Amino acid sequence: MHDLAAILLTISMVIVSALLAAAAAGKLARLDGATYPTALMHAATAFTTVLALAATIAGSLLH
């Protein structure tokens, strides 16, 4: 049961980190003068990048 709790906690921390990175990227893009759709694309790219990085790290640790 402790392994499941650790996995769920890790997943939730990765998602929170990805959301924070996306919010920061969107806000910085908006402050730089980007339009809302462009800022949203920057935020989506940052979110996807953090999730991909976490998956890559997890994959390398498992092998």
| Mean model confidence pLDDT for the chain | 95
Report pLDDT for 62: 87
Report pLDDT for 29: 97
At 36, the pLDDT band (50, 70, 90 cuts) reads very high
Report pLDDT for 59: 93
The CA-atom distances, in angstroms, between 27 and each of 4, 50, 54 are 35, 17, 22
Domain boundaries, given as residue ranges, for the chain: 2-62
Report pLDDT for 2: 82
Residues 10/14/17/22 CA torsion (nearest 10 deg) = -160
Are 21 and 46 spatial neighbours (Cβ–Cβ below 8 Å)?
A: yes
Confidence check: pLDDT of 32 > 90: yes
- Percent of all residues in the chain with a pLDDT value above 70, rounded to a whole number: 98
